[in-house]
Amino acid sequence: MGCTCEKIKIRKASKIGDKAEVDNRPPKLSVTEICVIRNNWQILKCHVANIGVITYVGMFEGRPEMKEVFSKFRNKDVSELRQTGLLRQHALRVMATIDKCITRLDEPSSLIPMLREVGVNHKKYKVPPDSIQIILPHFLNAIKPHIEDYWCAELADAWTKMFELIIFHIKEGMVNTDERHRDFTASAQLIT
């Protein structure tokens, strides 16, 4: 169940959202990376609510302006959000989406439309597309303590690549809502 880090090819790390490295293609995960993510996710699943809350608390503490993106979170401090359960509710929805993504990583015809729909829904709530990627470092910080024994640069890279894939398709749903752009899933490949 551990990380098979030595089997994962190391790729050049790039910052998500870095304007100099903008690519119009989603990243592809190797079969090994998918396997490692799924194995780790089995460990993480029993901590999913805690991981979700820690992810959002970290994000809101590091970037307090992000609370303004969420209509239900505006003008509330983090401790109030935790007490009311609003933060946990949203975190569980996000974690459920991540679970679906992990399950569908080798099924682009199922994964991509789901993520595009998440993007369409975020657009309805007027979420700025560039704010989507802000969650990644906070998610990595939240999962790391639970899989510390398996943590390595290659594992972090695999999770990052998966999130880049998720973020790419969510943003596509936010920016390109016309049908012809959403309908390329039949030819899409997610695995290298």
All domains of the chain in start order, with CATH: 27-187 (1.10.490.10)
> How many alpha carbons lie under 13 Å from residue 115 in its C-beta half-sphere?
28
Tokens of 144: 């790391």
The pLDDT of residue 14 is: 39
What does the alpha-carbon distance between residue 166 and residue 100 come to, in Å, rounded to a whole number?
Answer: 11
Q: Of 94, 158, 98, 168, nearest to 130 (Cα)?
A: 168
Q: Cβ contacts of residue 1 below 8 Å, gap of 6+?
A: 39, 42, 43
pLDDT for residue 31: 96
Counting Cα atoms < 13 Å in the Cβ hemisphere of 182 gives 18
Burial class (CB in 10 A: 0-12, 13-18, 19+), 189: exposed
The total of other beta-carbon atoms located within 10 Å of residue 151's CB is 18
pLDDT given at position 188: 55
Largest alpha-carbon pair distance within the chain?
47
What pLDDT score was predicted for residue 6? 38
pLDDT at 87: 93
Digit-coded pLDDT (tens) for 3-32: 443 333 333 333 444 444 455 788 999 999
Tell me what pLDDT residue 192 has: 63
pLDDT of residue 62: 94
Q: Which residues of the chain have pLDDT under 70?
A: 1-23, 177-192
Q: What are phi and psi of 148, to 5 degrees?
A: -55, -35
Output the pLDDT for position 25: 85
Q: Are the C-beta atoms of 168 and 176 separated by less than 8 Å? A: no
Q: What does the pLDDT read at residue 13?
A: 37
